[in-house]
Amino acid sequence: MRIVVLAGGIGGARFLRGLKAAAPDADITVIGNTGDDIHLFGLKVCPDLDTVMYTLGGGINEEQGWGRADETFRVKEELAAYGVGPEWFGLGDRDFATHIVRTQMLAAGYPLSAVTEALCARWQPGVRLLPMSDDRVETHVAIEEDGEQRAVHFQEYWVRLRASVDARAVVPVGAEQAEPAPGVLEALGDADVILFPPSNPVVSVGTILAVPGIREAIADAGVPVIGLSPIVGDAPVRGMADKVLAAVGVESTASAVARHYGSGLLDGWLVDSVDAGTVAEVEAAGIRCRAVPLMMTDLDATATMAREALALAEEVRA
């Protein structure tokens, strides 16, 4: 079975670990969000790709969900001693090596997809990890800070400001001109199932869908497209998805997110058991819906979620 997954960072990576356990023989291609990529200290940092790579490759800091295990921060401390920031972005020493290799390969002319493949040669994530695009896309967030309107990089909004101010708009700068990376459209065309893990619907999955051609390829694939709600009850399972959902005018509920994707894209949607009351509303929007436990508390629970998603796909197909 060929499964394609559109993944952001922590939520996507953890779901993928469950999916690999649930479908060990599946051929899994991950289309990773690169909209939160950022240039720091002259280096190209791809947080979501790295989170997927480290999580599936066994190098992740399990507690925080991003960055490397057993990490130190010597380089960052020294950069601060030079007065060079930003200090709010937690780049560790082991992590720096990844960005140094990536930046060096990009400077040598390799596209991001080839660089990602080279990095994965070490990590052996057990999936084919593709960036959504080799072109630069950077998500910016329009905010009002200290009475002034300004646009900040998504990482600044998310990490420095911790989404503490309202997002007035979320713009994936460069997405309109971007092309899907080599292999992306082919993977979607060859897929048996397409999954949206419980990743952020705006700045993770939404950014991937903003690359021209990807949304169309999903809609035209003619295979079940199944999503898992990142909202449980009235709150995001993790992160601050409600802030960016508000910016695009979407309520922070499992049902609203499904309707935001829409029946033109989604065939099936899993909501958490606590949201069983919204199943009828989602189905009324033309999307088959089931309520199951959606908390990725451990690998078993996550694998069960993945099995439920694949089961819903078969139900849709039949």
Binding site for a second copy (CB under 8 A): 41-43, 72, 74-79, 81-84, 93-94, 96-98, 100-101, 103-104, 107, 119, 122
CB closer to a second copy out of 74 and 168 = 74
Q: Which helix (H) or strand (E) holds 142?
A: strand 138-145
Residue-wise over 69-94: b if at least 16 C-beta within 10 A, else e? eebeeebbeebeeeeeebeebebbeb
Cβ proximity to a second copy: between 42 and 222 the closer is 42
76/79 Cα distance (integer angstroms):
5
Nearer to a second copy, 77 or 145 (CB): 77
What does the longest C-alpha to C-alpha distance in the chain come to? 62
50 marked as part of a ligand binding site: yes
Of 106 and 152, the one with the shorter C-beta distance to a second copy is: 106
Of residues 107 and 318, the one with the C-beta less far from a second copy: 107
Task: Indicate the residue among 109 and 147 with the shorter CB distance to a second copy.
Answer: 109
CB of 51 to a second copy, least distance (A): 17
Nearest to 30, CA basis, from 102, 119, 125:
125
CB of 54 or CB of 154, closer to a second copy: 54
Distance in Å, CB of 123 to a second copy, minimum: 9
* Beta carbon of residue 224, minimum distance to a second copy (angstroms, whole number): 37
CB of 58 to a second copy, least distance (A): 12
Q: Cβ 79 to a second copy, closest distance in Å?
A: 5
Other beta carbons less than 10 A from residue 144's beta carbon:
12
- Our CA angle for 93, 99, 105, nearest 5°, is 140
CB of 106 to a second copy, least distance (A): 9
CA-derived radius of gyration, the chain: 19
Helix (H) or strand (E) holding 114: helix 112-123
Measured distance CA(109)–CA(246) in Å, rounded:
39
**Strand order across the 138-145 sheet:** 148-153, 138-145, 169-173
Query: Are residues 229 and 292 in contact, defined by beta-carbon separation less than 8 angstroms?
Result: no
In the complex, least distance from residue 150 CB atom to a second copy, rounded to whole angstroms: 22
User: How far, in Å, CA of 23 to CA of 122, rounded?
Assistant: 23
Q: Could you list the residues known to form a binding site, using ranges.
A: 50
